[in-house]
Structures are given as structure tokens and as C-alpha cells.
Amino acid sequence: MANIAFIGTGVMGAPMARHLAAAGHDVTVYNRTRGKAEATGLAVADTPAAAAAGKDAVITCVGNDDDLAQVTLGTDGAFAAMRGDAVFVDHTTVSAAIARRLAAARALSVDAPVSGGQAGAENGTLSIMCGGSAAAMARAEPILGAYAARIVHVGAAGAGQTTKMVNQIAIAGVLQGVSEALRFAQASELDLAKVFEAISGGAAQSWQMVNRWQSMGEDRFDFGFAVDWMRKDLGLALDEAKRNGAVLPVAALVDQFYAEVQKMGGARQDTSALVRRLPK
């Protein structure tokens, strides 16, 4: 079992940290809002550096590039206190640029964004896409197994983050298609349950259709992955596309559709709230 620091105990990080403790690891947590750290029931450190000192592994799950830089490289950041042989794992969805920057600072680093949302974190069934060296992965993978159903080493530093961008690009297009299909079915005065039964077993089937068709039809959006987070993620993908030359017309368009949903008051609603901007 390992001695682990977990930095960032929000809706994703807190259950992940608890899974590590349940697996027998010795876990110390840090969160900018101390009360959220204390709510985990685990040992709490006063700073990222204090959490990281002497640990075998340091794991982060924070908000954005600036937050990640602060808890790793900033004053009282974790990197200054980490042992040379300790592995660093970041679960934040951030830019590939900062993932590469942190890997340059610490060879044993893994950028490891996740898919599966809050439910996946709570149930320990996350999918994790990882970038980093083989040596870093060898150290990280046994630890990540405490809360993951799937762990894939995609490539070098930054590859985990760019794979997460692929994930979000695909989701954006699918959700727009499901939204349009749902509204078309409603305009045609079809029984949505029967339509779902008819098409969900064929080529139209997707995770979004299976898990969101009914709730979208009932205008229920107060759960799941928030629109604000999706806009952040799509922004990262669009920025990376400028660097690598990829063309993302659908992702760019859906990003603007999500901006409309934000203006409609849907910033914290599930990404399936995309359907709200289409008239019934």
C-alpha cells in the first residue's frame, strides 16, 4: 500500500480519495476550501506542499490550468516538497501544454483526465486516459485501479489530455444529434418511449441516447456534467486544434450553442440541456 496525497476534494476528487483509503492506502488530502477536505474524513494538510511531503504519490483533481499550476509549482506547491522517486498524477481536464510543462518538471508524471462523471467517481468505475512515460505509468496504474474500470496508456506526456479532448469533441456532436432527433420526434407527435425502443438498439444508439433521452424529453437537466465544464473542455480542444491544425467545425458550433444555454440559465445543468435551445 502507498502513502498518497490527494489535492482537490470536490465532487470528483472526494470520492476518489475515499476509494484510495478504502483500498488500504494512507491518504492525506488538501483542498483550497478546508471544509471540503475535512468532509472526506481523511487526514487534512494545510498546504499542497505539506500534503505531498514524503509521499509515494501525489494526485491532483482541481479546476483549470491556473489552479493546477498553483498547487504544483506555486508557493507551497507540491513539487517543491515531493520526493524524487514519487509519482505525480493529474486528473484535472486541462491543456496539453501544462501537462507537458509539468512532465518536463517531473519525469514521473502522468496526465490522466477521466471520463464517467460524478457517478463514475462515486462508484469507482471511471475511465482514465493517460499520458506519460512507461516508468510513470508503472508506478501510477496500481494506484488508479482503486477507482477506475478502465485505464489506457495512450502515449507520451499530453496524450491523456488530448485524448480527453477527443472524447469531448465526440460527445458534443452526438448530443447535438440526439437533441435534434428528440425535437423532431416531438414535432412529429411520436411517443418518445416507443421511438427510443425502436432506434436505441441500432446504429443510432449512443451512451447519450441511452442515458439522456428520457430526461431530455422530460426537461430534466439538474445532474451530470455541467455545461460550464463542457465549455471549458471544448475551449481546450479548440485551442489545441489551432496548434495541431485540426478542423473542428461541429465542435466550434456546438460550443456556441452551449454559450446560448448558459445565457438561458443552464450553466450548471447537465450537458444534455443543449436541447433547450431548440424549440419544441
Report the percentage of the chain scoring pLDDT > 90: 98
pLDDT for residue 129: 98
C-alpha to C-alpha distance for 242 and 218, rounded to whole angstroms: 38
Query: Residue 169 is which amino acid?
Result: I
Alpha-carbon Rg of the chain, whole angstroms?
Answer: 20
Residue range of the domain that includes 191: 162-277
pLDDT for residue 224: 83
Give the pLDDT confidence of 67-117 residue by residue, as tens digits: 999 999 999 999 999 999 999 999 999 999 999 999 999 999 999 999 998
Are 27 and 112 members of one domain? yes
- Label residue 266 by pLDDT band (50, 70, 90): very high
Question: Span 248-257, mean pLDDT?
Answer: 98
Are 187 and 56 members of one domain? no
Q: Which of 157, 185, 216 is the last residue of a domain?
A: 157
Are 207 and 262 members of one domain? yes
Q: Which of 157, 191, 222 is the last residue of a domain?
A: 157
Cβ atoms 172, 255 nearer than 8 A: yes
- Name the average pLDDT for the chain: 97
Are 123 and 178 members of one domain? no
CATH of the domain at 199: 1.10.1040.10
CATH of the domain at 145: 3.40.50.720
Which position among 36, 55, 164, 263 bears the catalytic label? 164
Are 150 and 207 members of one domain? no
**194 a catalytic residue:** no
Global pTM? 0.94
Are 82 and 211 members of one domain? no
Are 151 and 211 members of one domain? no
Measured between alpha carbons, how far is residue 111 from residues 34, 91, 261 in Å? 25, 7, 30
